[in-house]
Amino acid sequence: MTRLGTRRRHQDAVLFAIERYGMDGSPILSDGSALKVRIEEGRPLIGSPNAATAAIDIAMWVDQAIEVGSLIWIGLLSDLGTADPTNLKEVVDCQIVPDIKGRTSEYVLLLKKWSNKP
């Protein structure tokens, strides 16, 4: 029997986590790893402490904390070679959602369309 938390995550995604930053400050990403996720599209805006807002394309529920700045591609890891690699999403925020008794936690990632332009 599967855990209740994983029953709701039926969609697939590929995570390219930040391993470290290069000498020029650009992120160095890991190889892709598969994730089971639940996707909710259309979250409008989030605010930051300095009053800037960011448009959010997707809220994604996962079972692990993921570093802000990591990239996610929605789809199967096996399809990555034949798919459009430009449809990447960037993690803008990672929020922890504990269950009511504090036993387990889920994580909500807020994602926006990635652009490699500075």
Give me the phi and psi of 102, to 5 degrees please: 75, 20
**Domain boundaries defined on the chain:** 4-113
Chain position carrying tokens 């959010």: 56
Specify whether domain 4-113 bears CATH 3.40.50: no
Q: How many CA atoms lie within 13 A of 52 on its CB side?
A: 3
Model confidence, pTM: 0.78
How far is residue 40's CA from residue 104's CA, in Å, rounded to a whole number? 21
pLDDT tens across the length of the chain (118 residues) = 344 455 577 888 999 998 888 888 888 888 888 999 988 887 665 655 565 666 788 888 898 899 988 999 988 888 877 666 668 898 988 888 887 887 778 888 988 888 776 5
Considering just the CA atoms, what is the radius of gyration of the chain in Å? 15
